[in-house]
Amino acid sequence: MSKPVILAVDDDASVLEAVVQDLRRKYGAEYRILRAGSGQAALDTCAQLKQRGDSVALVLSDQRMPGMSGVELLERVQHVYPEAKRALLTAYADTEAAIRAINTARISYYLTKPWDPPEEHLYPVLDDLLEAWSQGYKPPFEGLRVIGPRWSVRDFEVRDFLSRNQVPYVWLDPERDAEAVELLQRYGLEDKKLPALVFADGKTLVQPTQTELAERIGLRTHAEKDFYDLVVVGAGPAGLAAAVYGASEGLRTLVVEPEAPGGQAGSSSRIENYLGFPSGLSGADLARRAYAQASRFGAEFLTQRVCGIRADHHYRLACMADGREVSSHVCLIATGVHYRRLDVPGVERLTGLGVYYGAALVEARSCRDEEVFVVGGANSAGQAAMHFAKYARQVTMLVRGDSLEKSMSKYLINQIADTSNIRVETHSGVEEAFGEGRLESLRIRGPEGERTVPATALFIFIGAAPATDWLPEQVMRDPNGFILSGPDLQVEGKYPSIWKEKRSPYLLETSVPGVFVAGDVRHGSVKRAASAVGEGSIAVQFIHQYLSHF
């Protein structure tokens, strides 16, 4: 298999040679470095590579070239290699045009000349772009295969778990793929209940539990130690931030997460207003980076569910679903929220069979050329609609309010308005879901009355509910289940305070001393990824203050 290509484009031969030499020195072992002296030559090269079935990872083009500017070239390259990263090499005077191109031409990044030394000004940017590209790169596959029908709850759960843990696999539907039938016969699985998993080493799993699957793909399901300084419950943005700061500051840190790093934010198809990422990044990419960062500092991750927390003198014990307990000085609750359930006939019965809560990005490609319905009008719904619009024939957003203005960021509203196959229906909602074995149609209420429409996919984003039912009653919550902390514990007459310590609670400390909370699960939190990261970070500072009393 030939190596993926990095294509450098510049009409100045000396500059082009310098770029190529720098690229070969750093990336020549993993990528084929090609050059082109003009925009048209670059397009011809891309056409030839496409015809041969080669992959292009990155196109790095100068802006000022006769006949075709760099921005125009990168726009046209997108039609040939839509997944390739595209970066512009500009003079300082062209930076405004480059920034505009990020928004209009959707280029990935721009770099200014000169880029010397490349170790500081070129390689860090290209490393990030190539790493992001590699996450979506699909080389000829020889790894895990998941065999199961589309309309199966367990099949969906397996694929979703693998995708969110960023385990590469190929999904084969036995109703459509001859390879699936051949594999079932080869491994004697024809009479087994699906899904079935066939690994690269020839071993198989049939209808695995989540724990079995986690262990088989190499996730840790039992803690290495009996005692930690800090146990973080939940690996969303708040939990991951706490892991990074806790581990980097010397705390023995364990992060316990039952599904996958990233939490609800991890299923976001695109976050475009996160500081430091001008072209945006996916929730999965953010989670992957944070996980790697925390792991590098020594944080330990455990794929397990915490079903209780209890205090034993100065120790805080996290009780696992498998019956084990992990002891620590401090616990941080960062379990986030889940989407509220849509309480209309048929939805519960068809959940996982065409009805999904959250983005369920694993289903996006299955929706190709279909009509997709999205319920909700906040950012998460808008991001999902934009993602599904890449595959679906039509995406219909059903919004309860009179517009998107009150609940969605302006940049998303503008993107939705500019996307021809997204339709927004206000004052609308789902009244009933129909189908035998899978979603087949929806009864929708709108300003002009009710109508029944064919449907194969419904994605629901109707507000957040905290995941706090597992907590003991000593951890105080507001009437909606969000965890009270800090000054909220001492508001006279508002909540019956059970704070017994002589000192005041720390800002993010719950009603149980030594148990802290951060992120969306906290009462009064701002439901944004950036604010969750901030809370997880500053929680560690209060944890240090708490530990200083020992």
Quick check: 249 and 229 in contact, CB under 8 A?
Answer: no
For the stretch 196-250, pLDDT in tens is: 999 988 999 999 999 999 999 999 999 999 899 999 999 999 999 999 999 999 9
The values of phi and psi at residue 121, to 5°, are -110, -15
Residue with token string 């005041």? 504
Radius of gyration for the chain, computed over Cα atoms and rounded to the nearest angstrom: 25
Distance CA 403, CA 428 (A): 11
10 Å Cβ neighbour count for 95? 14
The pLDDT score that the predictor gives to residue 316 is 96
The DSSP string of 399-421 is ESSS-STTTS-HHHHHHHHT-TT
pLDDT at 270: 79
Give the tens place of pLDDT for each residue, 403-424.
999 889 999 999 999 999 999 9
Average pLDDT in the 105-119 region?
81
452: its two tokens: 């029944």
Q: Residue 77 and residue 62: Cα distance in Å, rounded?
A: 14
Higher pLDDT, 103 or 68: 68
Contacts of 399 (CB under 8 A, 6+ apart): 376, 377, 424, 425, 426, 427, 428
Look up residue 344 and give its DSSP letter: S
pLDDT of residue 344: 95
In the chain the first and final C-alpha atoms are separated, in Å, by 59
Mean pLDDT for all residues in the chain: 90
Helix-then-strand count for the chain, H and E: 14, 26
| 73-87, 171-185, 495-509: least confidently modelled range | 495-509
Of the chain, the percentage scoring pLDDT greater than 70 comes to: 96
Please give the Cα distance from 218 to 198 (Å, whole number).
Answer: 15
Instruction: Please name every residue paired with 483 in a beta bridge, in sequence order, or none if there are none.
Output: 477, 522
Q: What phi and psi, each to the nearest 5 degrees, are found at residue 131? A: -65, -45
For the chain, domains (ranges, CATH) are 5-136 (3.40.50.2300), 144-216 (3.40.30.10), 227-338+486-547 (3.50.50.60), 355-462 (3.50.50.60)
DSSP string over 429-494: EEEEEE-SSS--EEEEEETTEEEEEE-SEEEE---EEE--TTS-TTS-B-TTSPBP-GGGGG-TTT
Q: Which of 286, 262, 251, 277 is nearest to 520 (CA)?
A: 262
Where do we find the tokens 């930690």?
228
493 pLDDT above the threshold of 90: no
Tens digit of each residue's pLDDT (9 = 90 or more) over 435-466: 999 999 999 999 999 999 999 999 999 988 99
Does the pLDDT value for residue 394 go beyond 70? yes
Predicted confidence at residue 135, as pLDDT, reads 82
Q: What is the pLDDT of residues 312-323, one digit of tens each?
A: 988 999 999 989
Q: Which has more confidence, 241 or 488? A: 241
Q: Which of 219, 215, 242 is nearest to 231 (CA)?
A: 242
Residue 59 pairs with which residues in a beta bridge?
7, 86
Tell me 280's DSSP state: -
pLDDT at 94: 66
Residue bearing the bigger pLDDT, 390 or 267: 390
CA 396: distance to chain centroid? 22
Q: Helix, strand, or coil here: 303?
A: strand
Confidence class for position 431, pLDDT limits 50, 70, 90: very high
Model confidence at 142: pLDDT above 80:
no
Task: Grade residue 10 by pLDDT with cuts at 50, 70 and 90.
Answer: very high
Q: How confident is the model at residue 428 (pLDDT cuts 50, 70, 90)?
A: very high
- Taking the C-alpha atoms of residue 501 and residue 235, their distance in angstroms, rounded to an integer, is 29
| Per-state percent for the chain, helix, strand, coil, to nearest 5 | 30, 25, 45
Q: Is the confidence at residue 496, as pLDDT, over 60? A: no
Respond yes or no on whether the N-terminal peptide bond of residue 114 is cis (omega within 30° of 0).
Answer: yes
Q: Give the number of other Cβ atoms within 10 Å of residue 509's Cβ.
A: 25
Per-residue confidence (pLDDT) for residue 104, from 0 to 100: 67
DSSP 236-265: SHHHHHHHHHHHHTT--EEEEESS-TTTTG
Report which of 238, 226, 237 is spatially closest to residue 300, judged by C-alpha positions.
226
Task: For residue 122, report the phi and psi dihedrals to the nearest 5 degrees.
Answer: -115, -55
Q: Residue 375 and residue 432: Cα distance in Å, rounded?
A: 13
- Does the pLDDT value for residue 51 go beyond 60? yes
Q: Which amino acid is at 465?
A: A
The residue ranking higher by pLDDT, 264 or 541, is 541
What pLDDT does residue 324 have? 93
Q: What is the pLDDT of residues 286-307, one digit of tens each?
A: 999 999 999 999 999 999 999 9
Which residues fall within 8 angstroms of residue 196, CB to CB, at 6 or more apart? 146, 147, 148, 184, 187, 189, 204, 205, 206, 207
* Rounded CA separation 415/437 (Å): 35
